[in-house]
Amino acid sequence: MIALIKRDLAIATRSGGAAMLGVLFFLAVVAVIPFGMGPDLNLLARIGPAILWIGALLASLLGLDRLFQADREDGSLDMLVMQDWLSLVLTLFVKSLAHWFATGLPLVLAAPLLGLLMNMSATSTGAVMLTLLVGTPAISFIGAVGAAVAVVLPRGGLLVSILILPLAIPILIFGVSAAYAAVTDPDPFWPPFMILSAIALFFAALGPVAAAAALKGASD
C-alpha cells in the first residue's frame, strides 16, 4: 500500500504535473474574481473565504477524472479490481489519499497566498486553510465514487464534476460557514467545523466502499 502511494505520487509529480495544474487553476479562478467584481478591497475581503472555497472545490474536481481513468487505460485497474473486497476498499482509500496529497494539499498550501490577494485578514486566512485542510480530503474521497462510476464512459471528465458537485455541496456549506464564523463575532467556529470534520470522516469511510462497488460492477 505504501508502494501504491509512492507510485501515484511519483506519477503525479513526474509527468503532466497534476499537482501544479490544480494549483494553477486555483490561482487563475481566484484571480479572475476581482476582474469580475471590481477591485474593491473591502468587498473582496468579505467574499474572500467563499471565493477561495469555490476555487478549491473546482480545482480539486478538475483532476478527479484521471483518478481511475489512467489506470484503466493501461490495464492496471484490472489488477486492482481483481482483489477481494477488503483489499480493494483499502486500495481505493489509499488511492484517494494519494490523490489528495497530490492535488488537495497543494491547494491548502496555496491558500494563504490567495488570502493576501483577496485582502483577507490573518484569522480569516487561517480559518480557510484549516477548513480546506479538513474539507479537501472529503472532496477527494467522495470524488472517488464519481470517478469510479464514470471510469468506463468516454468524456467522463465533465460527468465526474456533475455527479460529484451535488454531493460536495454540504462540504462547501460547512466549510464556508466555519471560515466565516471565525471572523464574524457572534457565530461560533467549532460547531460547523465539527460537522465538516464529521462529513470528512463519513466520506472517508463511505467513498472507498461505494467506489469499490462501482468498479466491481463496472468492469466489462
Which of 11/165 has CB closer to other proteins?
11
Closest approach of Cβ 81 to other proteins, in Å?
6
Closest approach of Cβ 190 to other proteins, in Å?
29
Calculate the alpha carbon distances from 178 to 105, 123, 135 in Å.
19, 12, 11
Which of 13/197 has CB closer to other proteins?
13
CA distance 71 to 89: 16
Tabulate helix, strand, coil % of the chain (nearest 5). Answer: 85, 0, 15
Which of 194/216 has CB closer to other proteins?
216
The contact set with other proteins (CB under 8 A) reads 2-4, 6-7, 10-11, 14-17, 20-21, 24, 27-28, 31, 34-35, 39, 41, 44, 73-76, 78-79, 81-84, 87, 116-117, 119, 219-220
Closest approach of Cβ 46 to other proteins, in Å?
15
- Three-state SS annotation for 53-109: HHHHHHHHHHCCCHHHHHHHHHCHHHHHHCCCHHHHHHHHHHHHHHHHHHHHHHHHH
Closest approach of Cβ 219 to other proteins, in Å?
5
Closest approach of Cβ 39 to other proteins, in Å?
3
Cell, residue 179: 471560515
* ∠ CA 143-144-147, rounded to 5°: 90
Which of 80/196 has CB closer to other proteins?
80
Which of 119/197 has CB closer to other proteins?
119
Q: How many residues does the chain have?
A: 220
CB 60 within 8 A of CB 143: yes
